[in-house]
Structure 1
């Protein structure tokens, strides 16, 4: 008796599965785009100083003096020495091609020091740093970029937004075709990049020198960090009820 009931159950389950499969009429593949805008909470101030001289020692000494002036300006507005990091330091020979002698003549050395400091975004603190560098840092050039510290949370929001967009598109297409969305068969997505804010601020050495004699102060208010992500979702579609 038990064997008969078991066999009957298997048969009924098979019919149910066949019925469900009979309802499936194919798949639908839709691309979705996610968009998320969030206020930046981290700022990175990238700086560079350079020195040129025919004498190597004089070139490097001058560069180090400029670097110290830059660091001193930042320390005065509350930054610690350990927060000001070197990202690149190089010294190279410069040459100029001589058409008469048909050779490259040595014209001197170029030394460059790249530094950066990152900190939680605070408008007042950033403005103080920018004004201090502009007024005191000599030949320094600097750039400001804004970002979001919790990139994983931002990626999760982007993925959710992209899938939601794909679902809305798929539902509209299925309805137009007289079909109904079934289960998701697959989701494809690549690495979701997190970009810096599109709002960048560049201050070159000439501007910094000019601002030594000016009273204007910087007032920086960054725009939101805008990011996008793409996903491709495949649904099984069935006949509409």
Structure 2
């Protein structure tokens, strides 16, 4: 199920001054294909009212209603996290004239659950029955990506050394000691699918999603010394 790809990213051969050994800089790369085990709903709720206080009250009331439905679907409180909360003036500009219409409030909620079709269906149904003005997108993730981190680091380092051995032989030299290692873990990003409030409110709309595997990758930059045979 899992496969690992190795690819050459950057190779430079540098000759130092006469007193120094020549060096070779190699980028080691590793990538692993993983089946996602987590579904992530990014829900964005918005309201508009004439007064600030009413905007806040309505925004909180609708979010509480949504959370109540989500809890009823088996989503625990620790799996519902606010990512953004904002209330600001609702301004309209027309023909160079600024008109204040009232206030607009937004509340963004991230909901995570184990990826199972039943969870996907239950969370979507909760959004529908909450009957609030929102839009949402869905992404898929890996609940514990760190468990693959050490394996990817080892594979990336192995890749760097294998490349270095190949190029040192091709150059007619012997691979020496490692002079330096630079490492920076790659950020993980997941593709998303967007759904509008119109679809969310359509009780007949079915979400049928079969996500592909996600790819985790890592790389390391290694400088090797080279020695004459």
How far did residue 97 of structure 1 move? 2.7
Q: Distance in 2 between matches of 1:227 and 1:152?
A: 10
Counterpart of 2:122 in structure 1 is 128
* Larger strand proportion of the pair: 2
- TM-score w.r.t. length of structure 1: 0.74
**What residue in structure 1 maps to residue 186 of structure 2?**
193
- 1:51-105 Cα offsets, whole Å, 9 max, x none, are 1122444433433343233223312311234543333222111122353xx5422
Query: Does the 8 A contact of 1:88 with 1:115 survive in 2?
Result: yes
How many positions carry a matched residue from both structures? 210
Q: 1:178, 1:110 → 2: CA distance? A: 69
Higher helix fraction (1 or 2): 1
Q: What do you get for the CA RMSD once the two structures are aligned?
A: 2.6
Compute the displacement of 1:220 (Å): 2.6
Alignment of 1:159-170 (within 5 A): 159-170=153-164
Q: Measure the CA separation in 2 of the matches of 1:49 and 1:184.
A: 53
Secondary structure of the residue aligned to 1:119 is: strand
Tell me, in whole angstroms, the C-alpha distance in 2 between the residues paired with 1:180 and 1:161.
Answer: 22
Q: Whose radius of gyration is greater, 1 or 2?
A: 1
Superposed CA offset, 1:7-54 (max 9, x none): xxxxxxxxxxxxxxxxx9633222222222222333332212111122
CA contact (8 A) 1:197 1:226 kept: no
Displaced runs of 4+ in structure 1, greater than 4 A? Answer: none
Distance (whole Å) between structure 2 residues aligned to residue 186 and residue 227 of structure 1:
25
Does residue 34 of structure 2 align to residue 38 of structure 1? yes
Distance between the aligned counterparts of 1:27 and 1:58, measured in 2? 68
Indicate if the aligned counterparts of 1:40 and 1:197 stay in contact, CA closer than 8 A: no
- Unaligned 5+ runs, structure 1: 1-23
Give, in angstroms, the shift of residue 194 of structure 1: 3.4
Tell me the secondary structure at the aligned position of residue 29 of structure 1. Answer: strand
Conservation of the 8 A alpha-carbon contact between 2:75 and 2:113: no
Distance 1:187 1:56 in 2: 55
